[in-house]
Amino acid sequence: MRIDLSGRTALVSGSTQGIGLAIATGLAAAGARVGVNGRGEESVAAAVAAVRENVPGAEPVAAVGDLTTEEGTAAVLEAVPTVDILVNNLGIFGERPALEITDDEWRRYFEVNVLSGVRLTRHYLPRQMEAGWGRVQFVASDSAIATPAEMIHYGMSKTALLAVSRGFAKTTAGTGVTVNSVIAGPTETGGVRDFVYELVDPALPWEEAQREFMLRHRPNSLLQRLIRPEEIANMVVYLSSTFASATTGGALRVDGGYTDAILP
């Protein structure tokens, strides 16, 4: 299967590192012109350079802006006015005992993980519907289905994304635009490495720490390892293509079999 996104413009929110950067790189490799988003000019410039290095001939666009603010969102929309493919990847996570999560933290997780994507979708979706073609994706998590006791505020935000994506998919019914969510499982990124070492002995070598983490905190994983960011990106690139034209309103799992259910 050869996926060709030549002539398509994409925007990936929160794409300066980890899963977001892998998605931006994957879309660029398929031929899309990709907007790379982050809050700082330096981090975005580094990510743009990484995409160019990994995909010779790619022309990624720097889309600097904090999507939790009106000013930052306006800057991103100015850098990438229209898109054929929108990937709402921006998200934060962290461990916190349930009874210690403050009102401000609840609001922050909802603002960053949910509303940032809603704002971008609200802007780009009408033009996609007018054009009769478009792709919108929300990067969710296995935590949307199996709420982790150590970060229920994060789980709440990812569960909300499943409802948001399904609702927007109904809005686009019959237009040629598809909206889906991608349920990512435990993935090896810099942030996850830090998170792992918060939960296991920080003196352990990484491979041993990863095994300990999976056994103790993610025992349901059938993969028995952390997922690679590019494995998440592969699903996103597929859903961005014409091959996925009949897939909409769905929650597609790239979770290594972590979620113990036939359907999400």
pLDDT for the residue numbered 106: 98
Tell me if 164 sits within 8 A of 138, measured CB to CB. Answer: yes
pLDDT for the residue numbered 13: 98
Dump pLDDT digits (tens) for 70-95: 999 999 999 999 999 999 999 999 88
Active site residue 258: no
Dump pLDDT digits (tens) for 157-207: 999 999 999 999 999 999 999 999 999 998 998 888 888 998 899 999 999
In angstroms, how far is the first alpha carbon of the chain from the final one?
26
Catalytic: which of 109, 154, 238, 258? Answer: 154
Tell me if 11 sits within 8 A of 85, measured CB to CB. Answer: yes
Check pLDDT > 70 for residue 33: yes
150 vs 261, higher pLDDT: 150
pLDDT exceeding 90 applies to what percent of the chain?
88
**E-assigned strands of the chain?**
9-12, 33-38, 61-64, 85-88, 134-141, 177-184, 251-254
Question: What's 9-187+228-254's CATH class?
Answer: alpha beta
pLDDT for the residue numbered 1: 83
d(CA 99, CA 105): 12
| DSSP, residue by residue, 103-123 | HHHHHHHHIIIIIHHHHHHHH
Tally Cβ neighbours within 10 Å of residue 120: 24
What is residue 64's three-state secondary structure? strand
d(CA 180, CA 167): 10
List the structure tokens of 191: 């942030």
Q: Which amino acid belongs to residue 259?
A: T
Domain ranges of the chain: 9-187+228-254, 188-226
Dump pLDDT digits (tens) for 40-71: 999 999 999 999 999 999 999 999 999 999 99
Dump pLDDT digits (tens) for 186-199: 899 888 888 899 88
pLDDT for the residue numbered 264: 66
Tell me if 251 sits within 8 A of 180, measured CB to CB. Answer: yes
Burial of 166 (0-12, 13-18, 19+ CB in 10 A): middle
d(CA 109, CA 156): 9
Closest C-alpha among 137, 220, 211, 152 to residue 185:
220
Tell me if 236 sits within 8 A of 11, measured CB to CB. Answer: no
d(CA 66, CA 103): 21
List the structure tokens of 197: 């070492």
pLDDT for the residue numbered 75: 98
pLDDT exceeding 70 applies to what percent of the chain?
100
pTM for this prediction: 0.94
Tell me if 137 sits within 8 A of 236, measured CB to CB. Answer: yes
